Amino acid sequence: MTVLEARNLTVDIPTEDGTIHAVRDVSFTVDAGELFGIAGESGSGKSVLTQAILGLLPTATIAGEVLLEGRDLLALTQHELQSIRGSRIGMIFQDPMSSLHPYYSIGSQITEMIQVHERAERQAARRRVVDLLARVGIADADQRFDDFPHQFSGGMRQRVMIAMALVLNPPLVIADEPTTALDVTVQAQIIALLDEMRRERGTTVLMITHDLGLLSSIADHLMVMYAGRRMEIGPSGPLFSAPSHPYTAGLLASSPANYEAGAELVPIPGRPPSLLETPQGCAFAPRCLSAMAVCTQQAPPLRVYSDGIETLCWLESAPPDRAATAAEAVVPKVDTSSDIVVKAEGVRLAFGGGGLFNRNYRLEVLKGIDLELRTGETLGLVGESGCGKSTLARVIAGLIPMTGGRITLMGHDLSEVDPRTWQTLRKQVQLVFQNPYGALNPRRRIGAIIGDPYRIHAIASGKARKAEVQRLMELVGLNPEHYNRFPSEFSGGQRQRIGIARALALNPALIIYDEPVSALDVSIQAQILNLMRSLQRELRLTYLFISHDLAVVRHVCNRIAVLQAGQIVEMGEAEAIYSSPQHPYTRALLSASVVSPPRHGVSGRQLLHSIEADAA
Amino acid sequence: MIRHLAGRAAFGGLVLLTLSVFVFVLFFVAPGDPARMIAGDKATEAQLIQIRANLGVDRPITEQYFRFLGKALVGDLGFSYRNQQPVAKLIVGRLPATLSLVIGGVLVWLAVGIPVGIMSARHAGGVRDRVGQGFILVGLSFPTFVLGMTSLYLFYFLPRQAGFTLLPGGGFKPFLPNPLIWAWHMILPWSTVALTNAAVYARLTRGQMLEVMGEDYVRTARAKGLSERTVVWKHAMRAALTPLVSQLGADVAVLLGGAIVIEQVYGLQGVGALAVQAVANLDRPIIIGVVLLGGLFIVVTNIIVDIAYVLLDPRVR
């Protein structure tokens, strides 16, 4: 039985810059009890699609049909939609921190929903909510009913959101990136809970995510979107083992999880298109590795294959698996006799304080960290949020004074250097930050931003500085002619290149990357990782690489340190950590990270027929 | 919590103490001889010396200050130079007019400003938003005295010329025995004090609302199937108005210290009018008393705002 069916859904959102064609002619059906996944990068239209289904886009023009249990949602009035939201369609949003109202207790936020839709008696409603909270794994649910969202951890809040979505037993639950904001170990728990709840209650789940790998183990059917279009749809098994659309294949090939450690990634080149224009041919053609002449001229036909896969592509069979043919894995061996760049011994950091009338408190963030980095190597620092990894990076960079221990940088003890030496030492450590949107001053030209190190240390000025900056821009793959542009004119990936160029300016001995790719889409992420690796090979750079993503860390690092609650619990060669983790926390982290889907090529797939695109 | 409040109260006391030192020194070094103020131009030097001795202004400043402080702690703020009445009693006598003006004014400006702000925010960019923005612009750009004079002309002077009394031209009537007479006399002062502030609050509310309406939890509220009315008036309002509380506390405190222009325009015998007269007369004890009263109001409202915040926002509990 079909729960949800979309037919030729098209969503246009008017903005000041013009009309954004967010969703183009998308059709799919979701059967009762299944988990239907929608995957795509940012701007693919996946979130807009679900908000359009719920009628949460008041300004948008929506065409087509969306049938929920046979009723066309697009034909309903706002009032009728209100009675459907929550009771027939439950929603789980991405960020449980911001999706719950901070001023109301979690219990009242859930019971409010029962009251609105069912007019239940107060005590009965409370009992129902408490039962469900206990069911989704909230301990002492009865006492915690009156607690506020900020009193729960991220994972617990997402459990509360799940309870909220399920409390009225809706036939359909839409989960929009339900685990993206959570730590890996928590992510796995939440996915398991969602899967368990849907099996127990027979709920149909529509799950939206940018992480294709996440869907491989749980989705029954899958739709891949790009630039508002349905690129590929079909049962999850054949779709993962042999993606028929070059974009799906490219997404899988961009993920380091699908490679041997250290192999060159095959990224999707270029960047996502503007949604303001409608290209004549295939929207993916400019970035497609299998593109043909016809792709840019005519809209692609719909290919229907015998194993249930439907693809919007000119190719008549699956594109080649480029990850499998990728360059040989090369993990550069680090010479253990090379110089030590930085050495930390027993580094401690505690925040303490107290006001005029307040009690003193003390918070230990780093509890005795020992590590060393040699020239040319990459040390990965892995841990969940709050473990102190970013703080450690700032301490090593000298941005936060430590409260105990010793850091030796290029042979100088940081606690003893005089200001003059310190200024020259500063050149040796550079940082690249996580959020490429926040880390660049939006009101300065990028030439000035990249040239800053030269200005601050009075190394080059005028024409010489400009020449240096343009050399750096070329080095990181930016067009040197864009010297005078502002950061807003660049995409996230390009901005991260700007950050890397700035870090490279002074030939530093050590570059600290603090989650450099976690804010980027997977296709862009692969481009940046490749860039970092090639720069390291060419310039013999030393990296300290901080990340929560184990696949990424394994891909770029020689050695890995696992950080938990301010302590290094395990440190060693990257492959050793992966093949035989010693510490239970390392094992927990590893088992929680999503396993890459099996890929064994096409098996007996035949093209059944093709439907040509409308001439219009 | 109690610890925290005790801390705040102690800090408030420190603020008042510092304030009293500043005001005291300021008026001690200011020109003008209080003895001559009291005795008049024809007084002899001997009389002046006598008066100075009686007032205690011939002593060293530290001694004067501690004497003042000792008395002030038990509620004695000294006597007016002008008419020898106790300052505390004079100020207390002026409080009803000021309190009436402030409390009524606050209610009016909140009742106007918040709905206008919400209307503006909910129809951002539309006709209703422009109307709201127009109101904000007018309210913000009208100086209080112009507004006061204009409304007096329109609602008092013109009707009087036409032969009837629409609204009174000023003066304060006590709440009892007849609250209607009281309210009738307060209508113009209330509207005058309210217009500017309503504009400020409309703008604040609009900004807060626009921000909050884009929050994820408002989207969650919609996705739960709540009616638009509940979404706006319960979920969005709660978050949008909490920051307004601190602004309100500061505004009320300042007004309680004396709404000088408005009291002057409408002939309300309030604290502000008292302060104006005292400055004109160089009546130091009254000035010091009024300034300390203003300080006290600011300290107290800040503590009240703190408590209100704790009640409103569970995250700071």
Q: What is the pLDDT of residues A581-599, one digit of tens each?
A: 899 988 888 887 756 655 6
- Which of B211, B220, B244, B312 best tests the A interface by mutation, with the highest count of A CBs <10 A? B220
Lowest mean pLDDT among A90-94, A351-355, A508-512, A515-519: A351-355
**ipTM of model:** 0.80
- Same domain for B48 and B153? no
Query: Above 60 in pLDDT, residue A181?
Result: yes
Q: Is the model more confident about A18 or about B33? A: A18
- Same domain for B236 and B99? yes
Query: Above 80 in pLDDT, residue A311?
Result: yes
**Nearest one of A432, A454, A364, A458 to A402, comparing CA atoms:** A364
CB of B272 closer than 8 Å to CB of B264: yes
Examine residue B196 and state whether it is found in any structural domain, yes or no. yes
- Judge if the upstream peptide bond of residue A597 is cis by omega within 30 degrees of 0: no
Q: Which amino acid is at A524?
A: I
The most confident of the ranges A112-116, B48-52, B169-173 is: A112-116
Lowest mean pLDDT among A186-200, A316-330, B201-215: A316-330
Lowest mean pLDDT among A322-336, A392-406, B86-100: A322-336
- Same domain for B136 and B199? yes
Smallest CA–CA distance, residue A94 to chain B, in Å, is 9
Smallest CA–CA distance, residue B235 to chain A, in Å, is 7
Under 8 Å CB-to-CB from B6, ≥6 apart: which residues?
A: A357
CATH number of the domain residue B297 falls in: 1.10.3720.10
CB of A391 closer than 8 Å to CB of A367: no
Rounded to whole angstroms, the Cα distance separating A115 from A125 reads 8
Structure tokens at B107: 């209610």
Rounded to whole angstroms, the Cα distance separating B178 from A349 reads 69
Q: Give me the mean pLDDT over the A376-402 stretch.
A: 87
Q: Is the model more confident about B54 or about A597? A: B54
Examine residue B130 and state whether it is found in any structural domain, yes or no. yes
Predicted local confidence at residue A118, as pLDDT? 87
Closest-approach residue (CA) in chain A for B316: A150
Residues in A lying within 8 Å of B, measured between beta carbons: 54, 56, 78-79, 82-87, 91, 93, 95, 98-105, 112-113, 116-117, 148, 150, 164, 355-358
What is the CB-side half-sphere exposure of residue A110 using CA atoms within 13 A? 32
- Which of B1, B222, B224, B313 best tests the A interface by mutation, with the highest count of A CBs <10 A? B224
Smallest CA–CA distance, residue B133 to chain A, in Å, is 21
Rounded to whole angstroms, the Cα distance separating A496 from A487 reads 10
Predicted local confidence at residue A31, as pLDDT? 93
Rounded to whole angstroms, the Cα distance separating A149 from B216 reads 14
CB contact under 8 A, B239 and A101: yes
Rounded to whole angstroms, the Cα distance separating B202 from B210 reads 12
Q: Give me the mean pLDDT over the A261-277 stretch.
A: 80
Query: Above 90 in pLDDT, residue A35?
Result: yes
Closest-approach residue (CA) in chain A for B309: A103
Smallest CA–CA distance, residue B161 to chain A, in Å, is 54
Neighbouring-strand partners of residue A607: A305
Rounded to whole angstroms, the Cα distance separating A258 from A323 reads 7
Predicted local confidence at residue A598, as pLDDT? 59
CB contact under 8 A, B225 and A54: no
Q: Is B4 on the interface with A (CB under 8 A)?
A: yes
- Same domain for B168 and B195? yes
- Residue B53's CB: how many other CB atoms inside 10 A? 12
Examine residue B82 and state whether it is found in any structural domain, yes or no. no
Q: Which amino acid is at B70?
A: G
CB contact under 8 A, B219 and A84: no
- Same domain for B197 and B282? yes
Q: What is the pLDDT of residues B268-289, one digit of tens each?
A: 888 888 888 888 887 888 888 8
Predicted local confidence at residue A601, as pLDDT? 61
- Same domain for B45 and B157? no
Res. A206 pLDDT band, cuts 50 70 90? very high
**Nearest one of B95, B53, B72 to B294, comparing CA atoms:** B95
- Domain finish residue from B21, B47, B73: B73
Neighbouring-strand partners of residue B190: none
Smallest CA–CA distance, residue A221 to chain B, in Å, is 24
Q: Give me the mean pLDDT over the A171-184 stretch.
A: 87
Neighbouring-strand partners of residue A72: A67
**Domain of B226, in residue numbers:** 87-316
Examine residue B81 and state whether it is found in any structural domain, yes or no. no
Predicted local confidence at residue A511, as pLDDT? 93
Q: Give me the mean pLDDT over the A144-162 stretch.
A: 90
CB contacts, 8 Å: B314 with chain A: 102-103, 105, 148, 150
All structural domains of chain A with their residue ranges = 2-226, 340-592
Window 220-279 of B: residues touching A by CB (8 A cutoff) are 220-228, 230, 235, 238-239, 242
CB pairs under 8 A between A and B: 85
- Same domain for B67 and B127? no
Place of tokens 């409603």: A125
- Residue A136's CB: how many other CB atoms inside 10 A? 22
Smallest CA–CA distance, residue B118 to chain A, in Å, is 18
CB contact under 8 A, B217 and A102: yes
- Backbone φ and ψ of A544, nearest 5°: -110, 115
Closest-approach residue (CA) in chain B for A356: B7
Res. A460 pLDDT band, cuts 50 70 90? confident
CB contact under 8 A, B217 and A164: no
Query: Above 80 in pLDDT, residue B258?
Result: no
Predicted local confidence at residue A616, as pLDDT? 41
Domain count, chain B: 2
CB of A586 closer than 8 Å to CB of A574: no
Full 3-state SS string of A147-216: CCHHHCCHHHHHHHHHHHHHCCCCCEEEEECCCCCCCHHHHHHHHHHHHHHHHHHCCEEEEEECCHHHHH
**Nearest one of A188, A197, A108, A179 to A148, comparing CA atoms:** A108
Q: Which fold has domain A340-592?
A: Rossmann fold (3.40.50)
- Which of B213, B217, B237, B241 best tests the A interface by mutation, with the highest count of A CBs <10 A? B217
**Which of A91, A95, A357 lies nearest to residue B7, judging by beta carbons?**
A357
Predicted local confidence at residue B187, as pLDDT? 87
Pairing of strands A35-39, A221-226: parallel
Percent of chain A exceeding pLDDT 70 equals 94
Q: Name the CATH code of domain A2-226 (choices 3.90.950.10, 3.40.50.720, 3.40.50.300, 3.30.70.1090).
A: 3.40.50.300
Predicted local confidence at residue B273, as pLDDT? 86
Predicted local confidence at residue A333, as pLDDT? 60
Rounded to whole angstroms, the Cα distance separating B175 from B97 reads 9
- Same domain for B46 and B111? no
Quote the mean pLDDT of chain A.
86
- Domain finish residue from B73, B100, B132: B73
- Same domain for B35 and B115? no
Res. A318 pLDDT band, cuts 50 70 90? confident
Q: What is the pLDDT of residues B128-187, one digit of tens each?
A: 999 989 988 888 888 888 888 888 888 888 888 888 888 887 778 888 788 888 888 888
Q: Give me the mean pLDDT over the A569-573 stretch.
A: 91
Predicted local confidence at residue A7, as pLDDT? 92
Neighbouring-strand partners of residue B86: B79
Percent of chain A exceeding pLDDT 90 equals 27
- Same domain for B174 and B30? no
- Same domain for B213 and B240? yes
Q: Which amino acid is at A388?
A: G
Window 180-219 of B: residues touching A by CB (8 A cutoff) are 215-217, 219
pTM: 0.82
- Same domain for B51 and B199? no
Rounded to whole angstroms, the Cα distance separating A500 from B262 reads 61
Q: A545: helix, coil or strand?
A: strand
CB contact under 8 A, B315 and A102: yes
Smallest CA–CA distance, residue B306 to chain A, in Å, is 16
- Residue A14's CB: how many other CB atoms inside 10 A? 11
C-alpha to C-alpha distances, B303 to B106, B246, B300, B311, nearest whole angstrom: 19, 10, 5, 13
